[in-house]
Amino acid sequence: MIGLAGGPAAPADAAAGRSGEVVMVADAPALSAPTVAEDCLTPGHCVLRVEGLEKSFRRGLPPRRRQIDVLSGASLMVCSGELVGLVGENGSGKSTLMQIVVGLLGRDGGEVERRGRLGYCPQVPMLWDKLTVDEHFALFARAYGLDDDARERAVADLLVELRFERYRRYRVEELSGGTRQKLNLALALMHQPQLLLLDEPYSGFDWETYLRFWEMADRRRASGMGILIISHFLSERDRLDRVYELKDGEAVVA
């Protein structure tokens, strides 16, 4: 089954095993946005908890084979109603961490716990050139388990919100890079996830669409969605509730 904007579909409420597998746990309760006075550590509000995450890669051939440590005990948390940033230099492990959370990569150590429906918008859109925009929505709606009415409502709203209604019958190979990214984002949002993972989602957006993206993020945060967004820009920290910086394999509050 295909889902999560190109990745394999994952259970709604799951904890990832040591090898990266996803195992089912109890159904998640209804989530509500935390108030300022509440602690983010409140279990009912936490939609993502990453603790002591470790990941290394091996490069080269023997006898010059070497190990590259990317994550060395990274920990972070995202709660319902929070917009959390993850920043760091190129190669610091941001996308690696997110792919482990989604279940696309295994990990060497640490714990990952998720609650609720998951939406994932990868940095590089994973789309099919010969399919139209509408065909992508139909495919992902089936993967998400949406009926026809729910799909049409979600698609109509997202097309208006991202302003690409006229491209519904265009094949992906006919779209500009910015419009492909709009589709990539819309596919991650169409099932109204409770946890949304965004890997530089506005790459290729013009300035107007970039500003509209932040308006969309604010509305979904207000509705109780927990959002983790990867960015290169610390200048965006004023838009975020909390920012983690990946440095030397660890995530520290910036």
**Using 50, 70 and 90 to split pLDDT, how confident is the model at 43?**
low
Through-space distance between the first and last CA atoms of the chain, rounded to whole angstroms: 38
Which residues sit opposite 8 in a β-bridge? 2
**What per-residue confidence (pLDDT) applies to 91?**
82
Q: Nearest Cα to 190, choosing from 162, 222, 212, 214?
A: 162
pTM across the whole model: 0.82
Residue 246 host element (H or E): strand 242-247
Arithmetic mean of pLDDT, 115-144: 96
Contact 98, 7 (CB under 8 A): no
**Using 50, 70 and 90 to split pLDDT, how confident is the model at 204?**
confident
Distances (CA, A) of 145 to 3, 16, 27, 141, 227: 10, 22, 17, 6, 22
pLDDT tens digits, 70-112: 899 999 999 999 999 999 888 888 999 999 999 999 999 999 9
Query: Mean pLDDT, the chain, as a whole number?
Result: 84
Query: Which of 61-75, 79-93, 197-211, 216-230 is least confident?
Result: 61-75
Distances (CA, A) of 108 to 23, 69, 122, 226: 17, 10, 22, 26
Say whether pLDDT at 205 is over 80.
yes
**What per-residue confidence (pLDDT) applies to 208?**
94
Mention every residue, 6+ apart, whose C-beta is less than 8 A from residue 142.
Answer: none
**What per-residue confidence (pLDDT) applies to 34?**
36
**What per-residue confidence (pLDDT) applies to 60?**
77
Q: Nearest Cα to 3, choosing from 160, 106, 121?
A: 121
**Using 50, 70 and 90 to split pLDDT, how confident is the model at 236?**
confident
Alpha carbon 124 to its chain centroid, in Å, reads: 12
Domain ranges of the chain: 14-253
pLDDT tens digits, 159-197: 999 999 999 999 999 999 999 999 999 999 999 999 999
**Using 50, 70 and 90 to split pLDDT, how confident is the model at 234?**
low
**What per-residue confidence (pLDDT) applies to 233?**
65
DSSP 157-168: HHHHHHT-GGGT
Using CA atoms, how far apart are residues 84 and 34, in angstroms rounded to an integer?
14
Using CA atoms, how far apart are residues 117 and 189, in angstroms rounded to an integer?
10
Using CA atoms, how far apart are residues 114 and 15, in angstroms rounded to an integer?
6
**Using 50, 70 and 90 to split pLDDT, how confident is the model at 3?**
very low
**What 3-state class would DSSP assign to 143?**
helix
**Using 50, 70 and 90 to split pLDDT, how confident is the model at 116?**
very high
Using CA atoms, how far apart are residues 38 and 24, in angstroms rounded to an integer?
28
Q: Nearest Cα to 85, choosing from 209, 219, 195, 236?
A: 236
The total of other beta-carbon atoms located within 10 Å of residue 216's CB is 17
Burial of 126 (0-12, 13-18, 19+ CB in 10 A): middle
Mention every residue, 6+ apart, whose C-beta is less than 8 A from residue 158.
Answer: 186, 189, 190
Say whether pLDDT at 146 is over 60.
yes
CATH 3.30.930.10 corresponds to the domain 14-253: no
